[in-house]
Amino acid sequence: MVDDAPEFVVDTLSIRFLEFMEAERNASPRTVESYRRSLGQFRCWMGPRFSAWVDCGADDFRLWLYEALNQNLKPATIRLRFAALRSFYVYLMRREGLQANPLENVALPKAGHSLPVHLNLSQMEQLLSLPLRTPQDKKSPPWLPYRDAAILELFYSCGMRLSELVGLDADALADGADCVRVLGKGRKVRLVPVGDYAREAIAKYREMAGVEPGGPLFISRLRRRMTGRSVQQMLDKYLRCSDIPFHISPHKLRHTFATHMLDAGADLRAVQELLGHSSLSTTQIYTHVTKARLQQAYRDAHPRARGLDGE
Query: For residues 15 and 165, what is the distance between their CA atoms, to the nearest angstrom?
Result: 29
Question: Which helix (H) or strand (E) covers residue 294, if one does?
Answer: helix 285-301
Query: For residues 181 and 192, what is the distance between their CA atoms, to the nearest angstrom?
Result: 7
Report yes or no: 262 and 286 within 8 Å, Cβ to Cβ: yes
Length of the chain: 311
- The catalytic residues are 161, 185, 251, 254, 277, 286
Question: Which helix (H) or strand (E) covers residue 283, if one does?
Answer: helix 280-283
- Distance, CA of 151 to chain centre: 16
- Distance, CA of 297 to chain centre: 30
Phi, psi (rounded to 5 degrees) for 282: -65, -35
Q: Which residues contact 298 (CB under 8 A, 6 or more apart)?
A: 305, 308
